[in-house]
Structure 1
Amino acid sequence: MTSTSPEAVRRRFIAASFVDALGQGVYVPLTMLFVHALTGQTLTAIGTGLTLAGLGALASMPAVGSLIDRFGGKRVYTGALALRAIGFALYPLAHSYPAFLAVALLLAVAMWASPPSQQSLIGDIAEGAERDRLLAWDRSLRNGGMGFGSLAAAGMLAFGGTATGFLAAAAVLAAACAAAALIVARLPVARREAPAPEAARGGYRDVLADRPYLALTAANFLIGFGYTAQAIALPVFLTRDVGLPDALAGAVFAVNTALVAVFGVPVARAMARARRARGAALGTVVFAASFAAFALLPALGGGAVAVLIVAIVYTAGELIHSAPAQSLSVQAARDHLRGRYLSVYQLSWSLCRTVAPMLLGLLLDAGTWQLWAALAAAVLAGGLILLCTERALPAAPVFSRSADTLRTVAVTRSA
């Protein structure tokens, strides 16, 4: 008989998340080559189609939030994984451009729907500090899964990516998503109790009226550029401006992935002792310090060791910021509107990733230090918004402490 203990539910959820991340780790680095090999479309047509699909997925996010609140994070996350399985299975058949666009849109919507529905499911599985721990485990193991998937993708390229190999990859990706969907669908998650009629009213109007949460979202939009720079701008900077070989530039990403996977949970536990907004703001300061160091590397003739040291500082900023920031976004969402709240928060990531290639490209062309100065200003501004927003938030999202501690804080704040 299958165990339904809370610990067993959490282990099975993490297993599904890891399988999901493995699939993303294979697909994301190979997207253009993967789609080109399977559909025969030109790279220009693929790039345009993927951009259009991404914009369509952005437009779908309000509907995703409403579906989460109506049917629960478990069902929407299961549906998103199932749609991804269908999309990967259909890619080899999408030889016409309209068919390619349809499959690309299906996959984009499913991928953007996964984070808010998954985080809402975590909110249903656990509460308080236990929810923080589950978020940390999920984030750490997802980094590990993405890393293993990226290694598999690199192996495919090293041994020569063939049409047959990409067909096999499509089948594996479809099977991985289907397996993850099956695991999630079988999770014995209790349905949330229905809120009182007066509390159940409302929708996106209530979310948009929650100014402290919108401030958290705006802060995340600014800080998100610090995350996107690693994949978009850092490889160009290291090879063009610092003079690092391509292989060493790739090693920086590998070091970051490994450190986040290994130290994600311990750092999250350590950060749980601090107020979430202040912990996240501290991470932005460490981020800014790493950006200042990156800006100095060309002038100092930074070698591989110096680059790796700065990359470790950057990773420390990510570890310090990500745990309390993600917990704050989930804990500050009102339970009966959690799907809508998290969908709005997800838009900050989505918009950042949509505009980042253009903005970061302009900054790279401007010189060797302008990019890092702009990134430092953006993340520090985000950190300042977090600090200014802290007092406007209820005690429960701010503190990762016991109920007694929260009551004490509430009394202190009201005094």
Structure 2
Amino acid sequence: MPLPTAPDSAAPARRRFIAASFVDAVGNGIYVPLTMLFVHALTGQSLTAIGTGLTLAGLGALAAMPAVGILIDRRGGKHVYIGALALRAAAFALYPFATAYPAFLAVALVVAIAMWASAPSQQSLIGDMAQGAERDRLLAWNRSLRNGGMGFGALAAAGMLAVGDGGYLAAALALAGSFAAAAVLVARIPLRANSAPRPATGPGGGYRTVLADRRYRRLTAANFLIGFGYTAQAIAMPVFLTRDTGLPDAMAGVVFAVNTALVAGLGVPVARLMSRIPRGRGAALGTAVFALSFAAFACLPALEGTAAAIAVIAVAVVYTAGELIHSAPAESLAVHAAPDHMRGRYLSVYQLSWSLCRTLAPMLLGFLLDAGTWQLWTALGAAVLTGGLILLRADRSPAPSPHPAPVPATA
């Protein structure tokens, strides 16, 4: 796949960003699948204490997102992204020393804030680096690299753990090194002279303006609902496949591998195809494919043996198609709909919808898993289809004026 086209002066910036995005994703791939085991091995805390601490850290990061948006608008996405990467590098270097519970909580909070600040700051940086179709292509590359890097990082983590207890320390050092390297790459990205953030005290500089933007409220609400379709893969699907279909535990890993490979390999070409239709309609089409896959998942318990295994892979492909079709136009819609001088606040609000969904998903999906198979997949289908209908309405709504009426700046 060719890299995003750009003038010669902008090509090095694109290459450095792509390299940094991949290295960042590799670090996430090492950490995310092994979070509980990783923290338990390095700190010696009990699993209950770790789970409670990670939940508290997540809530703290959730509360910090509005401040992150203000910081992005004042300092720019590039500087905040560098800071988020540097904080993660320092935190993972300190994890082996966080054996006391307060120290563990402090490190976990720093990691959570830095991880959740990375998405809006990275998207804001893309907005500063490119415009129009070029911006969409760079967003598509970033999505594909996130999935490819996550898969590569997961394989690297498996190799580190194969060496024994020392593998966890090696993973901590690898995490610190990868995020530090990504921070250096981002620091070397030159930006256009006109991409500097406007003062936060300028017209329309507060969250009041974001909350008053009806179109963006719709995008955020839709993203919250559709997010449950994404979280289902990590939270509900492994339990469903082993408990309700009677398939081996390894099948959940196979489904994850299929999803990761397809998103990494097809993300850019599918994004190119989806760019030919309005973003809201394209994202809504993805939710319809999601709902189709959920209906198919609900039917899988009726199958047995080899037929069930083949059907699971086929439905996983349909599920991934929904993700591919939805993710490209939805992310582009969120970035393009944010005014340049307030992109940090807008994208932080959008990120809050993801974060809130991921915070609530374990509880809600656990309740639905206990309720029964059809209840789980019906609720997920209803959530994503409702989100799709909201996106269609947002697509028909007029875009906000690039020069909003002045309102007092607030936090």
1:129 alignment partner in structure 2? 133
Q: Displacement of 1:196 after TM fit?
A: 9.6
Q: What are the residue-to-residue correspondences of 1:393-408 with 2, within 5 Å? A: 393-394=398-399
Q: What are the residue-to-residue correspondences of 1:348-387 with 2, within 5 Å? A: 348-387=353-392
Q: Which consecutive unaligned segments of at least 5 residues does structure 1 have?
A: 398-415
Amino acid at match of 2:22: F
2:206 alignment partner in structure 1? 203
Q: Alpha carbons of 1:240 and 1:21: their partners in 2 closer, same or farther (altered >3 Å)?
A: same
Q: What are the residue-to-residue correspondences of 1:201-240 with 2, within 5 Å? A: 201-240=204-243
2:296 alignment partner in structure 1? 293
Amino acid at match of 2:390: I
SS in structure 1 at match of 2:33:
coil
Q: Alpha carbons of 1:198 and 1:361: their partners in 2 closer, same or farther (altered >3 Å)?
A: closer
* Distance across 2 between alignment mates of 1:242 and 1:16: 40
Q: Which consecutive unaligned segments of at least 5 residues does structure 2 have?
A: 1-6, 403-411
* Distance across 1 between alignment mates of 2:388 and 2:401: 20
Q: 1:169 aligns with which of 150, 171, 183?
A: 171
Q: Displacement of 1:8 after TM fit?
A: 1.6
2:3 alignment partner in structure 1? none
Q: Alpha carbons of 1:243 and 1:82: their partners in 2 closer, same or farther (altered >3 Å)?
A: same
The answer on 1:17 being equivalent to 2:43 is no
Q: What are the residue-to-residue correspondences of 1:13-412 with 2, within 5 Å? A: 13-157=17-161, 159=162, 161-162=164-165, 164-191=166-193, 192=195, 200-301=203-304, 302-394=307-399
What TM-score does the superposition give when structure 2 sets the normalisation length?
A: 0.93
What TM-score does the superposition give when structure 1 sets the normalisation length?
A: 0.92
Q: Displacement of 1:189 after TM fit?
A: 1.3
* Distance across 2 between alignment mates of 1:197 and 1:64: 13
Amino acid at match of 1:31: T
1:368-400: CA deviations, max 9, x gaps?
211100000000000000111222132999xxx
* Distance across 2 between alignment mates of 1:278 and 1:197: 33
Runs of 4+ in 1 over 6 A off after TM superposition: none
1:33-75: CA deviations, max 9, x gaps?
1111111111100000000000000000000000000000000
1:224-270: CA deviations, max 9, x gaps?
00000000000110011011111122100000000000000000000
SS in structure 2 at match of 1:187:
coil
SS in structure 2 at match of 1:245:
coil
CA contact (8 A) 1:219 1:386 kept: yes
* Distance across 2 between alignment mates of 1:336 and 1:271: 27
Amino acid at match of 1:148: F
* Distance across 2 between alignment mates of 1:173 and 1:249: 25
Q: What is the count of residue pairs matched by the alignment?
A: 393
Q: Alpha carbons of 1:187 and 1:196: their partners in 2 closer, same or farther (altered >3 Å)?
A: closer
* Distance across 1 between alignment mates of 2:380 and 2:215: 23
* Distance across 2 between alignment mates of 1:270 and 1:121: 24
Q: Quick one: percent identity of the two aligned structures?
A: 75
1:186-245: CA deviations, max 9, x gaps?
111135256599963421011011011011000000000000000000011001101111
1:5-26: CA deviations, max 9, x gaps?
2122111101000000000000
SS in structure 2 at match of 1:240:
helix
Tell me whether 231-240 or 182-191 shows the greater mean CA deviation. Answer: 182-191
Tell me whether 164-173 or 283-292 shows the greater mean CA deviation. Answer: 164-173
SS in structure 1 at match of 2:373:
coil
Amino acid at match of 1:184: V
* Distance across 2 between alignment mates of 1:165 and 1:299: 42
